[in-house]
Amino acid sequence: MDKGPFSVEWLAQSSRGGAGELPGSPLQTPLSVPADSPREREAAERPGQGAVPAGAVPGRARTKFSAAQLQELERSFREQRYIGAGEKRRLAAVLNLSQSQIKTWFQNRRMKFKRQTQDAR
């Protein structure tokens, strides 16, 4: 079967920047650096998680929580790992964060808690 333009191989190669090469040329694999942790290895395997291409709109910047915000969020997490709607509204108002940021922080904190308890076994 001919590996002409728009074959799976040709498209894979062209997405790596090798579109100028002939369609029948072998695929080039990028060199990989060994990752230190399973999380880094997993992130390295995900395509499109690197730098933002030129002309693309970057996503939302990472929220940097203050020490006071983290202290209040951790206190609330120690009391209850799953946050209710009322507590979410209260924390959002007190900490000057959106309810979405509070929800996401709790989701991430539960995952961190899960990893910590699994590593302790």
Domains of the chain: 66-120 (1.10.10.60)
CB 106 within 8 A of CB 82: yes
28 burial via Cβ count (<10 Å: 0-12, 13-18, 19+): exposed
pLDDT digits (tens, 9 = 90+) for 93-121: 999 999 999 999 999 999 999 999 998 88
Amino acid identity of residue 29, one-letter, is T
Question: Considering only CA atoms, which of 62, 102, 97 is closest in space to residue 80?
Answer: 102
d(CA 25, CA 5) in angstroms, rounded, equals 12
Rg (CA), the chain: 22
- The model's pLDDT over 19-77, given as tens digits with 9 standing for 90+, comes to 444 444 444 444 444 556 565 556 566 555 556 667 777 888 888 999 999 999 999 99
